[in-house]
Amino acid sequence: MGDTKRFIEELQSAWRDEKSAALTYSAAAEREKDGRRRDIFLRMAAEEAKHAERWEKRLRELGAEPGAYIETPAEMQRRRELVVQDPQVIATTMAAAEGNADGAYETLAALAPTDQDRRAFADAGRAERAHDRVLKDMAARAEQPRSRLDTILGRERHVRGGGWIGQAVYGLNDGLGAAFGIVSGVAGATHVNSSFVLLSGFASMVASALSMGSGAYLAVKSEKEVHEAELSRERHEIKENPDEEREELSLFYQLKGFSEEEANAMAARMAENPEEMLKTLAHEELGLSEQAFQNPWRSAASATAATAVGAAVPVLPYLFIGGLAALITSFVISTLAHFAVGAAKVVVTGRTWWKSGLEMMVIGLGEAAITYGIGLLVAPLLG
């Protein structure tokens, strides 16, 4: 008697699930513009409705009225939210539901009182598995979110300030500013003694380049090491507490606006691929992304080379001419270089080029004026 009661309850649940799935597929078909996907959704809706009719008939044979199918407002809202999603999201979500339905039919087959019932549930299970395969194929054929996102981002102008381009721009900035200030200060203190200016200028160039390069290398390397350590801890948590991590991922999806049922389905599907689940959790929970980190050697090389080039600009005139002419020439080309570097910063900042260039030029002139004044003040102390 107990098994019969449970069988009826499970059959009523299957009837409701099939009615719900039929309505969802029909709603998805109404909104679908692609003819192929619309036909698939319509065929699945018809098959789910056929299963619902079959279970309704069987329930009446067992003396159990299925009653009227009435959805709650929450269920209707979830359906409306689902069918407006990208086809890939719809297919993935419904594939998870089909997988759950297949499991439910295995339970019903184990409880079935007759061989005819068991054959019916076996047929229904095969249909659900077929739906699952079709939906997975649809999801695979649908334009994938990553490729779509890459296409969109490729049309937009985004540059990571922490990448090698950013390291190069800011290396030029740092080298030029530091060397211009030192050359101006030494020129003021030594009354433009070319030998002292050259020595201090090249020392500044080497020190700044090595400092920027090593700093860039250590910064990127440290970030990657922290990233790898966090991934290792997260991987261990997934291995030791898979249910908890799956629940955590589901909660992240719910915070993004998915219903609990949809979030659970997506988290369960993600859990089938532990490495993808790891990357998703690392991004959602820790804000980490493998693509955010550059090669430390590349960052170091770009920072070192750019800093050396920037630092060489104020020193070059003293290699060919001396005295006041070298000071004036250094001042002019360094001022222009400051403007050029400032304008080039729009590559990573996105600002208006002439405003950025003018700002950099004013700052550079200010540095030179201050250090030259300090040099003049220090000159009497040098004898």
pLDDT digits (tens, 9 = 90+) for 100-129: 777 888 888 888 888 898 888 888 888 888
Whether residue 182 sits in one domain with residue 83:
no
Is there a contact between 15 and 57 (Cβ–Cβ < 8 Å)? Answer: no
Is there a domain that residue 190 lies in? yes
Whether residue 180 sits in one domain with residue 103:
no
* Phi–psi pair at 279, nearest 5 degrees: -65, -40
Is there a domain that residue 202 lies in? yes
Whether residue 170 sits in one domain with residue 141:
no
Residue type, 12: Q
Distance CA 332, CA 320 (A): 15
Is there a contact between 217 and 223 (Cβ–Cβ < 8 Å)? Answer: no
Is there a domain that residue 217 lies in? yes
- Tens digit of pLDDT for each residue in 22-66? 898 898 888 888 887 888 888 888 888 998 899 889 888 888 877
Whether residue 200 sits in one domain with residue 91:
no
pTM of the predicted structure, to 2 decimals: 0.48
Is there a domain that residue 276 lies in? yes
Is there a domain that residue 156 lies in? no
Residue 371: name the closest of 186, 167, 228 by CA.
186
Please give the average per-residue pLDDT across 191-200, as a whole number.
Answer: 84
Q: Is the pLDDT reported for residue 279 higher than 80?
A: no
Residue 135: name the closest of 217, 61, 202, 37 by CA.
37
Whether residue 359 sits in one domain with residue 273:
yes
Cα–Cα–Cα angle for 33, 37, 39, rounded to 5 degrees: 100
With both helix axes pointing from N to C terminus, report the angle between 323-344 and 164-190 in degrees, rounded to the nearest 10: 160
Any residues with CB less than 8 A from the CB of 277 and at least 6 apart, and which?
238, 245, 246, 249, 270, 271
Whether residue 176 sits in one domain with residue 133:
no
Average pLDDT value for the chain: 80
Q: Which domain holds residue 233?
A: 164-382
Whether residue 196 sits in one domain with residue 55:
no
Distance CA 25, CA 98 (A): 12
Whether residue 228 sits in one domain with residue 123:
no
Whether residue 130 sits in one domain with residue 185:
no
Q: How many separate domains does the chain show?
A: 2
Q: Is the pLDDT reported for residue 257 higher than 90?
A: no
Q: Is the pLDDT reported for residue 333 higher than 90?
A: yes
Q: Is the pLDDT reported for residue 85 higher than 50?
A: yes
Q: Is the pLDDT reported for residue 2 higher than 80?
A: no
Calculate the alpha carbon distances from 341 to 138, 169, 300 in Å.
50, 7, 19
Whether residue 217 sits in one domain with residue 107:
no
Residue 258: name the closest of 135, 143, 103, 90 by CA.
90
Please give the average per-residue pLDDT across 72-96, as a whole number.
Answer: 81
Is there a contact between 122 and 109 (Cβ–Cβ < 8 Å)? Answer: yes
Q: Outline where the chain has alpha helix (H).
A: 2-31, 35-61, 73-83, 87-111, 115-141, 145-155, 164-190, 194-240, 242-255, 260-271, 274-286, 296-312, 317-320, 323-344, 346-349, 353-378
Model confidence at 351, pLDDT cuts 50, 70, 90, reads: low
Distance CA 104, CA 290 (A): 39
Is there a domain that residue 155 lies in? no
Domain boundary among 114, 148, 182: 148
Distance CA 107, CA 109 (A): 5
Residues above pLDDT 70, as percent of the chain = 86
Residue 158: name the closest of 276, 340, 291 by CA.
291
Q: Is the pLDDT reported for residue 296 higher than 60?
A: yes
Is there a domain that residue 154 lies in? no
Distance CA 148, CA 153 (A): 9
Is there a contact between 209 and 311 (Cβ–Cβ < 8 Å)? Answer: yes
Whether residue 36 sits in one domain with residue 180:
no
CATH code for the domain in which residue 86 is found: 1.20.1260.10
Residue 160: per-residue pLDDT: 45
The residue ranking higher by pLDDT, 342 or 286, is 342
Please give the average per-residue pLDDT across 199-214, as a whole number.
Answer: 88
Domain boundary among 95, 120, 148: 148
Domain boundary among 123, 148, 173: 148
- Tens digit of pLDDT for each residue in 147-192? 554 554 454 444 444 455 666 777 788 888 888 889 888 888 887 7
Residue 255: per-residue pLDDT: 65
Residues above pLDDT 90, as percent of the chain = 2
Whether residue 369 sits in one domain with residue 261:
yes
Is there a domain that residue 158 lies in? no
